[in-house]
């Protein structure tokens, strides 16, 4: 663990001090992340995601079990479901104009940013702790000729480099489990214009189950994160001028993705924890869209 308090410097920017030792760990985690399950899926069409998929599996797209192209088809299908997840997130941003700015907090390699720009024609600003990810996202934007509209920076999403009220919409796509939710939503409420929309898609533990299950603890250990409860999301939003407009339980919609993924050679070992915790009700995959009032 690093105790370095100097800002991390790189081509895409800096994490302004004081970054916590934990944030240094997370930056390092994502700087070194190169799992085939993420990169091979991104190679399908150049949209690189670090999140999971939703929707029914198209069995006809998978071809015959055991066929030589089965794995290629399976990768393409998993990727289609991951992009479908981003589409559902973007559906909940409401009407966005070309002149608007959107903010992707915890943007990863930028797949959702590209999709947002392609859909709305607007400016999309992303922040990530990982210099590797920011450089990757910016290179993709250059390759696509959209780098004047799509940009990733190495920044802490608890102190984003955007003016008060600058964003028409903002989101966390599977990135809110790395931070304190009160700090996070206070910062989104600051950068969002009143009437702007915030959306998150996240795994959360289910207060009906009682406490985080052993599967949830395994997921936390695997990703070095801290999964919050559904109750905590709603409480932290209420405390920070974010009023839920939609709460959608995506758990049934994400299970087919996990069950398909578990059959692939690209398994990472965490599949069982997701499948078991979704099935025993201790963990949920939710979308929450909220109005900044």
Q: Catalog residues that contact ligand SAH under the rule CB under 6 A.
A: 23, 26, 30, 49-51, 106-108, 111-112, 127-130, 133, 156-158, 173-175, 178-179
- Nearer to ligand SAH by C-beta: 36 or 207? 36
Minimum distance of ligand SAH from residue 23's CB (angstroms): 5
**What DSSP designation does 66 have?**
T
| Closest among 127, 123, 132, 135 to 158, alpha carbons compared | 127
Nearer to ligand SAH, 130 or 170 (CB): 130
In the bound state, the residue with its beta carbon closest to ligand SAH is 108
Q: In angstroms, rounded to a whole number, what is the distance separating the alpha carbons of residues 264 and 73?
A: 11
| Residue placing its CB nearer to ligand SAH in the complex, 42 or 194 | 42
Smallest distance from ligand SAH to CB 59, Å? 26
Q: Which is nearer to ligand SAH, 132 or 230 (CB)?
A: 132
Cβ atoms of 105 and 192 closer than 8 Å: no
Contact 273, 200 (CB under 8 A): no
Q: How far is the CB of 107 from ligand SAH (least distance, A)?
A: 6
C-alpha R_g of the chain: 18
Residue 59 near residue 147 (C-beta atoms within 8 A): no
Distance, in Å, from the CA atom of 223 to the CA atom of 202, rounded to the nearest integer, reads 14
β-strand partners of 173? 201
Integer Cα distance of 111 and 137 in angstroms: 8
Specify the residue, 108 or 196, whose C-beta has the smaller distance to ligand SAH. Answer: 108
Nearest distance from residue 20's CB to ligand SAH, in Å?
A: 9
In the complex with ligand SAH, the residue whose CB is nearer, 26 or 280, is 26
Residue 101 CB, shortest distance to ligand SAH, in Å, is 17
Contacts of 252 (CB under 8 A, 6+ apart): none
Phi-psi region of 277 (alpha: psi -120 to 50; beta: other; left: phi over 0): alpha
| CB 65 to ligand SAH: min, Å | 29
């Amino acid at each position: 663990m690093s105790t370095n308090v100097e800002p991390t410097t790189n081509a895409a920017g800096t994490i302004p001090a004081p970054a916590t030792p934990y944030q240094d760990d997370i930056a390092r985690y994502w700087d070194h992340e190169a799992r085939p399950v993420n990169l091979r899926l991104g190679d399908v069409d150049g949209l690189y995601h670090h999140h999971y998929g939703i929707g029914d599996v198209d069995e006809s797209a998978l071809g015959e079990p055991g066929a030589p192209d089965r794995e290629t088809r399976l990768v393409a299908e998993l990727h289609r479901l991951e992009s479908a997840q981003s589409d559902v997130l973007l559906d909940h941003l409401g009407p966005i104009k070309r002149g608007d700015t959107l903010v992707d907090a915890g943007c990863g390699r930028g797949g959702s940013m590209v999709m947002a720009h392609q859909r709305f024609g607007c400016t999309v600003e992303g922040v990530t702790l990982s210099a590797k990810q920011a450089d990757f996202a910016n290179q993709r934007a250059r390759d696509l000729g959209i780098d004047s509209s799509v940009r990733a920076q190495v920044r802490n999403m608890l102190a984003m480099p955007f003016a008060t009220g600058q964003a028409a919409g903002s989101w966390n796509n599977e990135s809110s489990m790395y931070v304190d939710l009160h700090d996070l939503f206070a910062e989104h409420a600051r950068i969002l214009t009143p009437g702007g929309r915030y959306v998150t898609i996240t795994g959360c533990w289910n207060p009906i189950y009682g406490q985080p299950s052993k599967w949830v603890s395994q997921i936390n250990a695997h990703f070095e994160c801290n999964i919050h409860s559904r109750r905590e999301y709603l409480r932290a939003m209420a405390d920070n001028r974010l009023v839920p407009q939609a709460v959608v339980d995506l758990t049934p919609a994400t299970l087919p993705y996990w069950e398909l993924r578990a059959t692939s050679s690209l398994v990472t070992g965490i599949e069982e924890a997701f499948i078991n915790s979704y099935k025993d009700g201790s963990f949920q995959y939710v979308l929450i869209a909220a109005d900044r009032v």
